[in-house]
A = this chain, B = another copy of it.
């Protein structure tokens, strides 16, 4: 296996301007791994309860996602209930940790030699536990304001150990207390990461390193059905492409930004990952070509 993905597995209850789904399977590990598995061999580390639908387990296996790190334990799967009035911001209505409360991520032996590791947005202590169990050369991590405010010391320990950090623009300002996004990015680069992916919602994303500054726009989606998992499916598509090419060369990073943008654009066109799981590489490549056309100056 080339890419290990650790994160939440959830059953969401989501309301958006397009509708309402009460039993919407999600979680950072699933969105990211489904996107990544379009490009590279991927394994999940996570936990579900007895109520987790067997049908979804079968669907994930069909995507060639390795589930040997997905524990099933007594109790109910993690639940998140949220509502989007503005498509850029979810309002959390309820969170029930359930089996996630006692989750201790354990990497199967077959995962331990993966070169790439993605730490989805979970408690920084869990992220550290995973880092300590594997020998990944390239570690990427996502986080959120909840951990920046709640467990800043632990989060800083994680940030020091990762090469790639995914972070929203509001969150990098919160993390660094710098208003200018480039000043904020410089500050984070001093702490360890070599590459930042700054996510800007409907305005796209920025890749930023010592040698690279790259802006990517979003793919022009006509109807955003459910933004849940946009960031995770972006990270998964981005990393899947990087792992496939096994390099952090600037040209590959730029291409990966486009691929991540496309996997995210497909994901938000349905509730859960209905669209993302059923898409194929041809649809992805078509959107990549379209996106390259609309950003090309020539």
Contacts and interface: CB of A to CB of B under 8 A. Distances in A.
A220 B298 contact: no
Interface residues of A, number: 25
A204 B298 CA distance: 18
Contact of A298 (B182, B183, B251): B251
Contact of A215 (B179, B223, B258, B294): B294
A210 interface: no
Interface string A187-229: 0000000000000100110000000011101001011000000
Contacts of A215: 204, 217, 294-295
A222 B180 contact: yes
Interface string A256-298: 0010000000000000000000000000000000001011111
A185 B295 CA distance: 18
A297 B254 contact: yes
Contacts of A179: 17
B183 A222 contact: yes
Contact of A220 (B204, B213, B222, B294): B213
Contacts of A156: none
* Integer count of this chain's copies in the complex: 2
Given A200-B203, A203-B203, A217-B217, A222 B297 contact: no
A255 interface: yes
Q: Which of A180, A213, A255, A297 has the most B CB atoms < 10 Å from its CB?
A: A297
Given A203-B203, A251-B298, A295-B295, A220 B258 contact: no
Nearest to A86: B179
Contacts of A297: 251, 254-255, 258, 292, 295-296
Contacts of A183: 222
Contacts of A182: 220, 222
A296 B295 CA distance: 8
Contacts of A213: 220, 294
Nearest to A290: B213
Given A203-B200, A215-B217, A180 B223 contact: yes
Nearest to A200: B203
Contacts of A180: 222-223
13 contacts: A180-B222, A182-B222, A183-B222, A203-B204, A213-B220, A214-B294, A217-B217, A254-B296, A254-B297, A254-B298, A258-B297, A292-B297, A295-B295
- A-B pairs with the 7 shortest C-beta distances? A215-B217, A203-B203, A254-B297, A213-B294, A182-B220, A292-B297, A214-B294
